[in-house]
Chains A and B, each alone.
Chain A
Amino acid sequence: MSLTELTIKDFLNGLRKKEFKAREVVEAFLKNIKENDKKINAFLTLNEEEALSQAKKVDQGKKIKNLSGVPLAVKDNILIEDLKTTAASKILKNYVASYDATVIKKLKEAEVIFLGKTNLDEFAMGSSNENSAFKIVHNPYDLTRVPGGSSGGSAAAVASFMAMAALGSDTGGSIRQPAHFCGVVGLKPTYGAVSRFGLIAMASSLDQIGPITKTVEDAALLFNQIKGFDPLDATSVKFEYPPSLLNPSWEKIKKLIIGLPEEYFEKGLDKNVSSALEEAIKKLKSLGLKFKKINLPHTHFALSCYYIIMPAEVSANLARYDGIRFSALKKDVCNLKLQEIYLKSRGEGFGEEVKRRIILGTFVLSAGYAEAYYKKAQKVRQLIKKDFDRAFDKNDGGVDVILTPVAPTSAFKIKEKMDNPLQMYLSDIFTIPVNLAGLPAISIPVKKYSLKGKELPVGFQLIGKYFHEEDILGIGQYYEKLEER
């Protein structure tokens, strides 16, 4: 096995047994990036020098910490001090982060090594990574296809062995959908579980940071390190996770009941997706897990609800990009009037999709329309959340975990949906309700896929109760052990 194929777990074991040095592993990843990223475009910035010097420190250190030496890629909307952070937008193309995001601080404490910053849809807005202002990411399984979005660079980097694992952010499916397209694992934690301080905000009532990894076990390890209360994020929740988060007990896991919501399996699923899901359900049944049909009656309305609430928040969050404070787009703006600087910097600095969402958000919040659109959507959001509350209610015969598809199709062709935003939005239909409700969910590959094979990866989604990451991570870990047998 080559060093770049190691999981976090195996890497840490190997490092402890001195089978290799952290530096060798970091070098192997950097070499792989230099050779292969020309065709994938997963990285926007490399952190080569710093990564190598960090590796040296790990090798000289006395004790191997939680994640010592783990070579990680980070989505370029998460701030790492002194590194360029662009959110794949022209308006931030020269911006250098002046502080570390809380997740980065926590990972630095665990001696994680940052290989570089990964490509994304501009400001995390998109489902295909084609909205990056700089370059399009290609799916490592088929270069003519998209890697998904918006954390497409992170998912493609892990899938093509250019990073051991990565961080992404998920507002409507941006971790889980690319993980499904690229055959890797992606976890969106419960809203409030992971601090967003230092994440470039898109839609603040929905955004969460989470890991993209090769295995569910690795996702648990990374999540365990980045989670936790942070006074710098006002939505951060004080919650003590049990130790079983990292060591799930089979006795407990096998008693969990999995719900299958009829609304997610009705129609519009591609054949390869539905047959892969059947395979996943069959495997889970072979483990002894019980299934139950359930209903989430307002599922259909989640897309409309999301595409009102998210742009509304986007229009407010992106107001701060004025072309002045976070590095200037043009050097000659000083002679303009203030209002002209705003109009020109934002007109030139934002891409098509970002402009569309800001203007849509401005519309749904504007006088005369706010009640009919924004307020209505907030009420529908309540109905969607209540659907899940009911499905999980143990006093009402509820289930513990819900299994659904991640997206209706596997990776689609580059340019296939670019001209039709509504078609593009529909690819998030199964991931969006989770963000609206604030629940944790994970995308897990149905089986081990090979980059050399002809098959496109398919994942399945497990949705858990609030702060019950241990349930979905637990089932996932036993599921992936089936593969190893």
Chain B
Amino acid sequence: MTEITKKELKHLAQLARIEISPSEEEKLIKDLQEIISYFEELKKLDTENVSPMTGGTFLENIFYEGEDKNYFDVKKATQQFLEKENNFLKIPGVFE
């Protein structure tokens, strides 16, 4: 069975971009471990020849023309940005 170690948790939290405080770690590890152990029951099911269900029901590809449509007011959509320039979001550099 998969074991969630402190190292594994830190790795997952980093992937998920969530800062975890040391006080949260212990409870998270315990909860995750318990939930993941519960999943073990799925191993009992033979799914060798079952195709995976990848979404909801009746999904089909939809194609659209590349039209220029405004679904919402750009001013409203950008007004809550902390920093912006000409309706573009301004953020610190991605690369240092």
Contacts and interface: CB of A to CB of B under 8 A. Distances in A.
Interface string A372-391: 11011111111101000000
Contacts of A234: 62
Interface string B81-95: 111000001011110
Contacts of A350: 18
Contact of B28 (A346, A356, A366): A356
A322 B24 CA distance: 21
B55 A205 contact: yes
A315 B16 contact: yes
B53 A385 contact: yes
Given A301-B41, A383-B47, A192 B56 contact: yes
Nearest to A372: B2
Among B12, B13, B53, B79, the one with the most A-chain Cβ atoms within 10 Å of its Cβ is B53
Nearest to B93: A338
B34 interface: yes
Contact of B12 (A327, A366, A438): A366
Given A99-B73, A378-B54, A385-B53, A304 B17 contact: no
A1 interface: no
B32 A191 contact: no
Nearest to B64: A231
Interface stretch (A145-153, A155-163, A179-187, A329-337): A329-337
Interface stretch (A90-98, A107-115, A447-455): A90-98
B28 A380 contact: no
A326 interface: yes
A254 B55 CA distance: 34
Contacts of B81: 324-325
B41 A347 contact: no
Given A304-B38, A373-B39, A379 B57 contact: no
Interface string A333-366: 1101111011110111010100110111011001
A319 B15 CA distance: 10
A237 B39 CA distance: 33
A363 B53 contact: no
B32 A356 contact: yes
Contacts of A143: none
Contacts of A366: 12, 15
Nearest to B40: A304
Interface string A220-252: 000000000001101101000000000000000
A206 B82 contact: no
A375 B12 contact: no
B15 A338 contact: no
A196 to B, nearest CB: 10
Among A300, A319, A344, A360, the one with the most B-chain Cβ atoms within 10 Å of its Cβ is A360
B55 to A, nearest CB: 5
A171 to B, nearest CB: 11
A379 B49 CA distance: 9
Contacts of B15: 362, 366
Given A304-B42, A363-B36, A422-B34, A379 B47 contact: yes
Contact of A346 (B17, B35, B93): B17
A324 B52 CA distance: 36
Contacts of B68: none
B65 to A, nearest CB: 11
A308 B40 CA distance: 12
Contacts of B16: 315, 346, 358-359, 362
B18 A379 contact: no
Interface of B: 2, 4, 9, 12-13, 15-21, 24, 28, 31-32, 34-36, 38-39, 41-42, 45, 47, 50-59, 62, 64, 71-73, 76-77, 79-83, 89, 91-94, 96
The 7 A-B residue pairs with the shortest CB-CB distance, nearest first, are A347-B19, A378-B52, A99-B72, A438-B57, A98-B76, A379-B47, A191-B56
21 contacts: A99-B77, A191-B57, A191-B58, A192-B56, A304-B38, A324-B81, A324-B82, A328-B82, A334-B82, A336-B92, A346-B16, A359-B13, A359-B28, A363-B36, A376-B42, A381-B53, A382-B52, A382-B53, A383-B50, A422-B35, A425-B35
Given A206-B56, A338-B92, A385-B53, 4 more contacts: A205-B56, A342-B17, A352-B24, A383-B47
